[in-house]
Amino acid sequence: ATAPVQADWPALLRDVADFPRPGILFKDITPLLADAHGFAAAIATLAAPWRAAPPHAVVGIESRGFILGAALAQALGVGFVPVRKPGKLPGPTLALDYALEYGSDRLEMHVDALPAGAPVLLVDDVLATGGTLQAAVALLQQQGAHVVAASVLIELSALSARQRWDAQVPLLAGLVI
């Protein structure tokens, strides 16, 4: 039996004021994840465009992109590949450093995680400035993967990341707020 779909999964997101810093309105996905039907509906939303022709793998970005990406990979019947924060992967890695508002950060993936030219769907929870997602796209492209799309559960439109987005890779959002 399939679970009843909680179509109004966006109602399960929680706004938290002044987190992680004063002035930031944080979108907390934990109440959504804790609701079986809501979580399933959110994953169904991300999976819908890919059911007919699934990618080779879903790639998720640490940390919250792992939660959604692993569930999405299972929903599509494909494998999951992690893009991780520095120093976490045991094998040989390819890394990409990217600028933040203050300072820089780094993403890593295993060099042998994907076959050359593999079509992959990149997933994360939130698109804010877009820096994280753009860096992950670049890392995958350096590795020779074909990023069929980058998909986020929530796009924060006020930060205008879509206006700066590399048009070569489609940017999909389950919810634009």
**Active-site annotation, residues:** 64, 101
CB closer to ligand PRP out of 41 and 122? 122
CB closer to ligand PRP out of 57 and 133? 133
Write phi, then psi, for 100 (nearest 5 degrees): -110, 175
Q: Hey, which residues between 51 and 90 contact ligand PRP (CB under 6 A)? A: 61-65
Q: Give the C-alpha separation, 80 to 71, whole Å.
A: 9
Q: Report strand pairing: 93-99 vs 104-110.
A: antiparallel
In 10 A of CB 107, how many CB atoms?
Answer: 22
CB closer to Mg ion out of 64 and 106? 64
- Applying CB under 6 A, the span of 4-12, 30-38, 74-82, 127-135 interacting with ligand PRP comes to 127-135
Q: Report strand pairing: 57-61 vs 79-83.
A: parallel
Lookup: tokens for 26: 């944080």
Decide: 43 and 51 in contact? Cβ < 8 Å: no
Q: Judged by CB under 6 A, does residue 130 bind ligand PRP? A: yes
Three-state DSSP class for 167?
coil
Binding partner of residue 129 among ligand PRP, Mg ion, none, CB cut-off 5 to 8 Å per kind: ligand PRP
Q: Hey, which residues between 57 and 76 contact Mg ion (CB under 5 A)? A: 64
Q: Judged by CB under 5 A, does residue 106 bind Mg ion? A: no
Binding site for ligand PRP (CB under 6 A): 61-65, 124-133
